[in-house]
Amino acid sequence: MVVHSEPRDFLFLSRILGKKVINADGKKLGLVVDVAAEFVEPYPVVTGFILKAGKRKNLFLPCTEVSGLDEDVYTANISSNNLQEYKPHGGESLLYSALMDKQVVDTNGARIRRVNDLQLLQAHHGLYLVHVDVGFRGLMRRVGLIKTMDKILQVLFDYQLPDQLISWKFVQPLSSPDLLRLNIAHNRLSQIHPADLADILEDLDIRQRTAVFQALDKETAAETLEETDPKIQVSLIADLNSAQASDIIEEMSLSEATDLLADLPKAKAEGILKEMEKDIAEDFKELLSHPEKEAGGMMTTSFLSFLPNVTVRQAMETIRKEGEDVDLLYYVYITDEEERLLGVVTLRDLLLASPDAVLTDIMDTRIISVKLDDKDETIADHFAKYGVTAIPVVDDAEKLQGTIMFKNLLEVVAPHLGK
């Protein structure tokens, strides 16, 4: 297929829609009402044109039958009787129906945009979707006022409004569940920082929010959930079955996941806990037994502790093996064989110490700790006074029960800052 009309072989979908389709005998076959494309990487490939011919609608003209595209669409020697009704196959969608006037995520700018037009490129004997137009100029092109607007701006302000184009590589469609389920969707959404993705979810309506969230892989879903408003967390998890919800919650930090389980209806939370491994479920049940505004309700049990005779080398090896699965890494705690808290070592201390040094020689015994039933005011005072980033929690026998990170405190006393 040869494209004649646009500079550099670029053309906009709005310029294709409504074109007459004429065969080699000069007979009109119909009008273009949409364009079919297969959504592959790096750019969707146009597979054909959807036509309306009299009372017949949704007829498919393959690109292989198109000989040229100018003021009209020219075809080889084919009649309308040879055109079959369009039947999409896996990975294929209609560009106008799926994208035009719909919301998409700009994964580069991490924001939601509205599609005003689509830019196609003719290259390598094919037609590809390469840009999404989200600007006002695209809207003016759609309604046929772009020349008028250009003249007015040029005469009055010596200015031409530019196109606002986003490369397809940074576009994630939201309107179609099929497009959301494509592998390329997972890759693109996972490129967005979880905090930005959480903001995007909060800006979507309930239907879109649920569809986008359920299209995420469980690791990205867990990271995003941790950054999302608690009320939205609950609604997203409520739409999942217990097994799916369990898989995602197990990927979250222990403290964040506990807060979420506490906010869920009791029956839903119990169903999720039943899907978990027994030891993990027991950890959650222990944390859920404490009031939210007490130390026991804010702490996480996901941290590292060592006996005093462990060497720095041994401790670092354990951190490398298990560090990815714990909530707190900057501090490691030193306990005796009965789990009584003896001291604390920072990651900085470990990095600077000799590998053969034992932890008892480098630990700080001036421990700042709180009890399980200490209230949020006391905990906040400790953070402010001592300038630490985490505080260990002990029981009445000084046995280490957990640790409170500053973010966990914020989520209780100032939820708008903690997320």
- The string of pLDDT tens digits covering residues 128-139 is 999 999 988 888
pLDDT of residue 345: 96
pLDDT of residue 6: 42
Residue 115's contacts (CB-CB under 8 Å, 6 or more residues apart) are: 99, 100, 101, 102, 103, 104, 132, 133, 134
Does residue 68 or residue 11 have the better pLDDT? 11
Q: What is the DSSP string of 202-246?
A: HHS-HHHHHHHHHHS-HHHHHHHHHTS-HHHHHHHHHTS-HHHHH
Closest among 334, 333, 332 to 323, alpha carbons compared: 332
pLDDT at residue 342 greater than cutoff 90? yes
pLDDT of residue 180: 64
Closest among 102, 156, 122 to 3, alpha carbons compared: 122
Does residue 347 or residue 409 have the better pLDDT? 347
Closest among 306, 305, 244, 250 to 283, alpha carbons compared: 250
pLDDT at residue 268 greater than cutoff 90? yes
Q: Model confidence over 203-243: pLDDT tens digits?
A: 888 888 888 898 888 999 999 999 998 899 999 998 899 99
Mean pLDDT of 310-335: 93
Q: Model confidence over 113-169: pLDDT tens digits?
A: 999 999 999 887 788 999 999 988 888 888 787 788 888 888 788 888 788 899 998
Beta pairing class for 20-22 and 28-38? antiparallel
Which residue segments constitute the domains of the chain, with CATH numbers given? 2-96 (2.30.30.240), 193-289 (1.25.60.10), 305-418 (3.10.580.10)
pLDDT of residue 413: 65
pLDDT band at 91 (very low <50, low <70, confident <90, very high): confident
Residue 413's contacts (CB-CB under 8 Å, 6 or more residues apart) are: 376, 380
| DSSP assigned state of 387 | -
On average, the pLDDT of the chain sits at: 86
pLDDT at residue 185 greater than cutoff 60? no
- State the burial class of residue 313 (Cβ atoms within 10 Å of its Cβ: 0-12, 13-18, 19+): middle
pLDDT band at 7 (very low <50, low <70, confident <90, very high): very low
Closest among 201, 191, 190 to 225, alpha carbons compared: 201
Residue 353's contacts (CB-CB under 8 Å, 6 or more residues apart) are: 312, 362
| DSSP assigned state of 275 | H
